[in-house]
Amino acid sequence: MGELSNTVFSHAEEFVQQVPLLVTSSHATINRPAITLTFAQSLDGKISLPGQQLLLSGAESMAMTHRLRSMHDGILVGIDTVICDDPQLCVRHVPASELTSVAHPQPIVLDSQLRIPLTARLLVGPQTNSRLKMPFIVTGPDHDPARRAQLEQMGARVVVVACDAGRLCLDAVVRELRQLGIMRLMVEGGARVIQAFLESQIVDLLIITIAPVLVGSSGVAAALSPLSAPIVPQLYEQFGRDVVMAATILHNVG
């Protein structure tokens, strides 16, 4: 991605300032952070290819996403995203004047079996860049103690929560993150994490980037099953070739 103009960065800033839930009360409670769910999808609703990274966002909407990251205390993904994409989960696409001062969010990985590679950039990056934060790795009670010791020796924080049918209990996850000081949480994926948060009825804000691309039937859908709660769009904005929607979800309606 080439160098972006100040106009692009200003557009990103103007957009996030228009989203009420980002600039008013945080909607955090004593039991959980305020939660923003965000992802990029194709016109046919796909977010990735099986086992492959799929870059959908253009440069302009990517700048908006990184501005969003800077407004959250933590950024959460599932272990499949870490294994497939090897993300850094930091703030990079901001004006050069901010690069040395911007606050990077706390990376958080849902990893019930501690499968995160020891070579992951989330673990290696902070060793060479002191401004990056070692990840919180949220796991279940049935994990490998030796693997946990390795990760903790590297500097990661392993957080143990209850599981239900082999899956981490999201209520327990967000409650623990709130206790660890995460007031605003940004959830980025992948598909199973997106679906779990949508079904959990704890998402305050939904921000979707729609790219003018058709992935086809081999792609992985953003939503694996219908969402019963109504989605209420608050704002649409074009960023380069992409369209971004900010919306709220009306839980317990109907």
| Contacts with 47 (C-beta within 8 Å, 6 or more apart), sequence order | 39, 40, 41, 54, 56, 189, 190, 191, 194, 219, 220, 221, 222
Computed over every residue of the chain, the mean pLDDT equals 91
Q: Is the pLDDT of residue 1 over 60?
A: no
Can you give the pTM of this predicted structure?
A: 0.93
- What is the pLDDT confidence band of residue 254, given thresholds at 50, 70 and 90? very low
pLDDT for position 26: 59
The tens digit of pLDDT for each residue in 229-246 reads 788 999 999 999 999 999
Name the residue with higher pLDDT: 64 or 227: 64
**Which tens digits make up the pLDDT trace of 113-148?**
999 999 999 999 999 999 999 999 999 999 999 999
Side chain identity, residue 216: G
Residue 130's contacts (CB-CB under 8 Å, 6 or more residues apart) are none
Ramachandran quadrant class, 209 (left: phi over 0; alpha: psi -120 to 50; beta: rest): beta
